[in-house]
Amino acid sequence: TLSPNPVRPLFLRDNGNIVGYMLIVVYYSNEYNGFIAMLDEFFILPEHRGRGFGGAALELLKDWVVERGLRGLTLEIVGTDTPARPLYERHGFTLPERKTMSWFPE
């Protein structure tokens, strides 16, 4: 079941200290025929990058998705040359042939 607040913050810790966070949005998708999670924000402090925290966090997040019976996990990248793209690809994410359009009121 979906809680009243579909946004879930997940904090990344190293020896008890917060070193980053993920914001996960859970929603129903007709396309995927069920609830899915979207990694809306993913941040790791610069001094903790390149030390395996990102990969470990993605693997834990994938486990989190499976444990909750969600259909899958999506994320967005801006452009195709984002520095994080190789990390996502190493952890099984693919780049489908689609474009996302946006509209925001002024």
pLDDT band at 77 (very low <50, low <70, confident <90, very high): confident
For the stretch 34-71, pLDDT in tens is 999 999 999 999 999 989 989 999 999 999 999 999 99
Query: pTM for this structure?
Result: 0.80
Maximum distance among all alpha carbons in the chain?
Answer: 43
pLDDT band at 6 (very low <50, low <70, confident <90, very high): confident
Tell whether the torsion through CA atoms of 99, 103, 104 and 106 is positive or negative.
positive
Task: Sheet containing 7-14: give its strands across.
Answer: 7-14, 17-29, 34-44, 73-75
Mean pLDDT of 4-30: 89
Q: Note whether 6 and 27 are within 8 A (CB).
A: yes
pLDDT band at 105 (very low <50, low <70, confident <90, very high): confident
